[in-house]
Chain A
């Protein structure tokens, strides 16, 4: 490739990257996931009560909780395992956290007990459970359906204990204690003993989703009300815009024409970072904003390092073009080493950290990569382009030169 071709392909690459980033960013209001601290909602951390939980049990735990949350009809819930014993449940914009937390955290072990109090069947054979009005007195009931194996067990059971009582327990709490009238062979049954249809519906959700393989406790529970969430996001956006405008003004004041170029590079940096956050489906939290601000600082810093270096080169008597070329070359090494060290830190934090620390580390890493790209490629290409069309001339285009 000739020098000219190289220049144009660089510019083309920048345009493509910006277009891809902009594509992920569209539509702007919905493209970036906001953390619960910014948009309001409830976050619950559940921990298995037992000290040692198998991987398999944890996986089942997550999937049972997932099913429960999905059946509650909430928008965009997020359930993920953290560490070996914990599950994080995020429920954005939830109205009644109390009920949700109660439903999510219940063990919901369904047991059928014979008159002697021995467990004769559990809820694991349930394939469906629906709440409705029914039974003898048209009361709230749960109609359940058993799998093939459960059907046989249940048939034998109801045969054996005909005329006696079989107690139905949820987490050791008796729901009902009916007398078996006839053997039930169809694998379907009815559970009474609910005070309202809502309660029956809640229990039905639990039964459908299955019992938790291990009992859990809520060890962390945060609810940010919609009012506070809205204040937080509005204030952060406004503050961010004011901050960016200040940075742009300072850069133009300090470095004139090239400050303007840096501002342009910064705008592209902004689009790339936000696009990457949207594209990677990352979640932006308050600590994440701290990470973004640091990376803005580093993006500006990269430009400042380059411009100061060019000014030094001009000061040592080089022509503008020669000064720009050697300034970029020397600054590149500086930027690489300083950013790689920070990147190492960010990567380690992303690996070891949890929650806010990880969010911070991820936004910071994206920011560092984008800032290197914009400072080294975008700023350089634009400066080259302006040099070619003779817009950049005279030494003043990099601000005051020291002798």
Chain B
């Protein structure tokens, strides 16, 4: 069983340089991808129109390109197959009238055609979406720092935010590497990961806080290691159960929900990793840094 491999003598904090290195490598690879190929932004961010059709007969992307040529839109359109028998058109932002004309033309040509969806997003929406999400993120971070500083200490808050940023960077990096198209539901997934990351970290910090009270003889690093190891069964079992649930929805939930679920899978893996291997180690580093500064200022007096 999972539990039997956990020994009480595990030294997680002591090996923190290794964990930092692993994370740094993944984050740097992700950042390189984000800066070179960027994120594959969907129309929610860029503006534009998507029309998706399903057919029972054989219809190729070239067939649909001919339709788009009739509307002088072929040059502005990306046409690709989707699912088993579907075709997805992505083009500039259109009026509903034009969307209906394209729909009717496709219906005229192919008897089995069924329009699955059409989405038009104006060009200003994307900037706003990003801006609002960033604003919400910033306010949330300030509130979290405030709450953790009150219930714990300021350095706990900073360590929790480090773990949070770590998870967000890993998620964005991997999604960029995979070239997955992201739309506004992805923002919801990102926020979910944020919530999970903080929640997961606090559970461990709660134990550190408790150990600070009862086990005064140990060093701060030892207290942290004890807390991480003692809560390890919980960390593993919780993420295993949550991941099982998400994996099931990822596999069986169909195309519409898949990108959200993939983002949750990556994010929660990163979140579990960071709460065990990044948050407490970062807290120990912060504590050491704080002590060094204090000593230096005392020495200079």
For the complex, give the distance between the alpha carbons of A347 and B50 in Å.
32
- Asked if A289 is at the interface (CB within 8 A of a chain B CB), the reply is yes
- A9: CB under 8 A from chain B? no
Within 8 A of A (CB), among B142-188: 143-144, 147-148, 151, 184-185, 187-188
State whether B256 touches A37 (Cβ < 8 A).
yes
CB-CB < 8 A to A200: which residues of B? none
List 8 additional A-B contacts (Cβ < 8 Å) besides A294-B196, A300-B241, A301-B241: A37-B256, A235-B253, A235-B257, A246-B245, A291-B192, A298-B199, A308-B233, A339-B199
CB proximity of B173 to chain A, nearest CB, Å: 20
* Residues of A with C-beta under 8 A to B1: 400
Q: How far is the CB of A319 from chain B (nearest CB, A)?
A: 21
| Least CB distance, B245 to chain A, in whole angstroms | 4
Q: Which residues of A contact B245 (CB under 8 A)?
A: 243-244, 246-247, 293, 296-297
Note all chain B residues with C-beta closer than 8 A to A222: 117-120
- Which of chain A's residues have a CB closer than 8 A to the CB of B6? 402
Is B295 positioned at the interface, with any CB of A under 8 Å from its CB? no
Q: Does A346 have its Cβ within 8 Å of any Cβ on chain B?
A: yes
Distance in angstroms between the alpha carbons of A402 and B10 in the assembled complex: 14
Given contacts A342-B195, A346-B195, A348-B139, contact A354 B116 (CB under 8 A): no
Q: Which residue of A lies closest to B98 (CB)?
A: A98
- Answer whether residue A78 sits at the interface, using C-beta atoms and an 8 A cutoff: no
Chain B nearest CB from A283 CB (Å) reads: 14
Report whether B192 and A364 are in contact in the complex, using a CB–CB cutoff of 8 Å: yes
Check if B67 is an interface residue, CB within 8 A of chain A.
Answer: no
* Contact of B27 with A by CB under 8 A: no
Task: Evaluate whether A223 and B253 lie within 8 angstroms (CB atoms) in the complex, with A333-B206, A341-B198, A352-B135 already known.
Answer: no
Q: Which residues of A are in contact with B by a Cβ distance under 8 Å? A: 37, 45, 47, 97-98, 101-102, 217-225, 227-228, 231-232, 235-236, 238-240, 242-244, 246-247, 250-251, 254, 286-287, 289-291, 293-294, 296-298, 300-301, 304-305, 308, 311-312, 330, 333-334, 337-342, 344-346, 348-349, 352-357, 359-361, 364, 399-400, 402
Q: Which residues of B contact A217 (CB under 8 A)?
A: 122
Question: Which residues of B are interface residues toward A (Cβ below 8 A)?
Answer: 1-4, 6, 8, 52, 54, 95-97, 99-100, 114-122, 124-125, 132-133, 135-136, 139-140, 143-144, 147-148, 151, 184-185, 187-189, 191-192, 194-196, 198-200, 202-203, 206-207, 210, 230-231, 233-234, 237-238, 240-242, 244-246, 248-249, 251-254, 256-257, 260-261, 264, 268
A294 partner residues in chain B, CB cutoff 8 A: 192, 195-196, 242, 264
CB pairs A–B below 8 angstroms (22 shown): A222-B117, A235-B252, A247-B241, A250-B240, A251-B241, A286-B256, A286-B260, A287-B185, A289-B249, A301-B241, A305-B203, A312-B230, A337-B206, A338-B202, A338-B203, A339-B199, A342-B195, A342-B199, A348-B143, A356-B188, A357-B191, A360-B188
Chain A residues whose CB sits within 8 angstroms of the CB of B231 once the complex forms:
308
* B203 x A334 contact (CB < 8 A): yes
Contacts of A251 in B (CB 8 A): 241
A293 partner residues in chain B, CB cutoff 8 A = 192, 242, 245-246, 249, 264
Closest to B52 in A: A228
Interface of B is mostly: helix
Residues of A within 8 A of B249 (CB): 236, 239-240, 242-243, 289, 293
A217 to B121, CA, bound (A): 12
- In the assembled complex, which residues on chain A have CB atoms less than 8 Å from the CB atom of B230? 312
Interface of A is mostly: helix
Contact at B253–A236, with CB atoms within 8 Å? yes
B117 in contact with A225 (CB, 8 Å): yes
Are B100 and A98 in contact (CB-based, < 8 A)? yes
A393 to B34 CA separation, bound complex (whole angstroms):
55
By the criterion CB–CB under 8 Å, are B254 and A364 in contact? Answer: no
Q: Establish whether residues B248 and A223, one from each chain, have CB atoms under 8 Å apart when the complex forms.
A: no
Is A98 a contact partner of B136 (Cβ separation < 8 A)?
Answer: no
CB–CB A228/B246 < 8 A: no
Roughly how many angstroms separate A251 CA and B245 CA in the complex, as a whole number? 12
- Measured in the bound complex, the distance between the Cα atoms of B254 and A337 in whole Å is 35
In the complex, which of the residues A97, A232, A247, A334 has the most CB atoms of chain B within 10 Å of its own CB atom? A334
Chain A nearest Cβ from B255, distance in angstroms? 9
- Among the listed B115, B202, B261, which residue makes an inter-chain contact with A337, where contact means beta carbons less than 8 Å apart? B202
Assembly CA distance A235 to B199 (angstroms): 29
Select from chain A the residue with minimum beta-carbon distance to B8.
A402
Quick check: A290 and B122 within 8 Å, CB to CB?
Answer: no
Candidates A219, A227, A301, A304; contact of B122 at CB < 8 Å: A219
Q: How far is the CA of A274 from the CA of B264 in the complex (A)?
A: 22
Evaluate contact between A239 and B237: CB separation under 8 angstroms: no
Task: Using known A-B contacts A232-B254, A238-B252, A240-B249, determine if residue A345 contacts B144 with beta carbons closer than 8 Å.
Answer: yes
Q: Which residues of A contact B3 (CB under 8 A)?
A: 399-400, 402
By a CB distance below 8 angstroms, the chain B residues around A297 are 196, 238, 241-242, 245-246, 268
**How many angstroms from the CA of A338 to the CA of B200 in the assembled complex?**
7
Query: Residues of A contacting B261 with CB < 8 Å?
Result: 290
Closest B residue by C-beta to A262: B241
Report the separation of the CA atoms of residues A84 and B220 in the bound assembly, to the nearest whole angstrom.
Answer: 51
A240, B2: Cα distance in complex, Å = 26
